[in-house]
Amino acid sequence: MEEQTHEIKIIRFDKTLSHRDNIIKEIFSFLVELDCDYPNFRVWLSKVFRQIGTGKRILLVVYDEIDNIAGIAILKKCNYEKKICTLRVRTDMKNKGIGSLLIRKSIEELNENKPLITVSEHHIQEFRSLFKKFKFTRSETIKSLYKDGVKEFIYNKPFRREYALMSIKPQYSHKILSGEKVVEFRKKCFTNDVKYVYIYSSSPERRIIGLIHVENVIEGSINSIWENFKYSGGISKEAYFDYFKNHKRGYVIKIRSVEIFKRPIDPKILYGKSFHVPQNYMYVNKICLDKEEL
């Protein structure tokens, strides 16, 4: 189908932008349905609006002939990442070249022919022809990246996994907060890209109570780990070897520092009622908190 010509606007928010609140409401209304696929989407979008104008975020908006939003792209432009974070075209405006227009403009704004972009398995069919047109290639598939149990398809670049969430029993999670426990032992561990780990204190608390700043992760034999870190792990020898029973190797997460949340967070508020506690860990986005929560 021949592409039609549409006006595209680049919105850069600042204090002097006229009708700023009205524009925000309009964009929120247009994107609100994405909350079903990406838990905590509204909180993330609020953060985006705060960052637009700093150079880190760029918002592209396509309007139809009566000045209603027809499509939106939200871009992230940092030294370490150039990403199309959100790309949506209004249902009745699909197959009219708007998606192609947004991608071409995104490539221009990011100065990157193959920017990072991710798509949920629930919507991948909608993007296949578009990605084929721009020769976008799938780099990996990550399950439970944004929503528990749902696959996210990653295109063009490796995905930076900076944040993870880990379930820890209360008797150990509070030792981490107090500083008594400065390493965490694990049978399985995340990639070395992870720099922050949210502490989910398991039953009976069932709340996210703090954030670990990771120094590094060390792999080793069960015996060598114990000999090197037995005074740092806040766990008895009996409990340690019982945990690693039938395992020859394990991991040590060295803790650089910890942020304690004044108001523990119910993960179901962030990730929906279907949230399941990860057996080992799960990759997550940064959780946006108000100052009084820290």
Q: Distance (Å, rounded) from C-alpha 174 to C-alpha 170?
A: 6
- Residue predicted with more confidence, 144 or 278: 278
Q: Is 283 helix (H, G, I), strand (E, B) or coil?
A: strand
For CATH 3.40.630.30, list the domain ranges present in the chain.
7-117
Q: For the CA atoms of 117, 120, 125, 130, what is the dihedral angle to 10 degrees?
A: -10
- Per-residue pLDDT at 17: 52
> pLDDT tens for residues 84-125?
999 999 999 898 899 999 999 999 999 999 999 999 999 999
Enumerate the CATH 2.30.130.30 domain ranges in the chain, comma separated: 163-293
pLDDT tens sequence across 29-75: 899 888 777 767 877 787 787 776 677 788 888 888 888 899 999 99
| pLDDT of amino acid 80 | 76
- The first and second tokens of residue 294, run together, are 């820290």
For the chain, state the CA radius of gyration.
22
* CA distance between the termini of the chain: 52
Tokens 């992760």 map to which residue? Answer: 217
Phi, psi at residue 286, to the nearest 5°? -60, 135
Percent of the chain with pLDDT over 90: 57
Helices 124-133 and 98-110, axial angle in degrees (round to 10): 60
How far is residue 131's CA from residue 189's CA, in Å, rounded to a whole number? 32
Of the candidates 226, 231, 214, the residue with the CA atom closest to the CA atom of residue 175: 231
Sorting pLDDT into bands at 50, 70 and 90, what band is 213? very high
- CA proximity to 261, closest of 195, 194, 176: 176
Q: What's the gap between Cα 18 and its chain centre?
A: 31
Residue 224: per-residue pLDDT: 97
Average pLDDT, the chain: 87
Contact 291, 232 (CB under 8 A): no
What's the CATH code, domain 7-117? 3.40.630.30
Burial of 254 (0-12, 13-18, 19+ CB in 10 A): middle
Q: What is the pLDDT of residue 1?
A: 42
Q: Which residue did the predictor score with more confidence, 171 or 278?
A: 171
Domain 163-293 belongs to what topology? 2.30.130
Confidence of residue 2 (pLDDT cuts 50, 70, 90): very low
> Which residues face 8 on adjacent strands?
62
**Please, which pLDDT band fits residue 19 given cuts at 50, 70 and 90?**
low
Range of weakest confidence among 5-14, 86-95, 194-203, 261-270: 5-14
More confident residue, 79 or 95: 95
In tens, the pLDDT along 223-258 reads 999 999 999 999 999 999 999 999 999 999 999 999
The DSSP call for residue 293 is G
Average pLDDT for residues 270-288, to the nearest whole number? 80
Say whether pLDDT at 291 is over 60: no
293, pLDDT greater than 70: no
Give the orientation angle of helix 41-51 with respect to helix 20-31, to 10 degrees: 150
Rounded to whole angstroms, how far apart are CA atoms 28 and 7? 20
Q: Where are the alpha helices (DSSP H) in the chain?
A: 20-31, 41-51, 98-110, 124-133, 170-178, 222-229, 237-243, 267-271
pLDDT at 289: 65
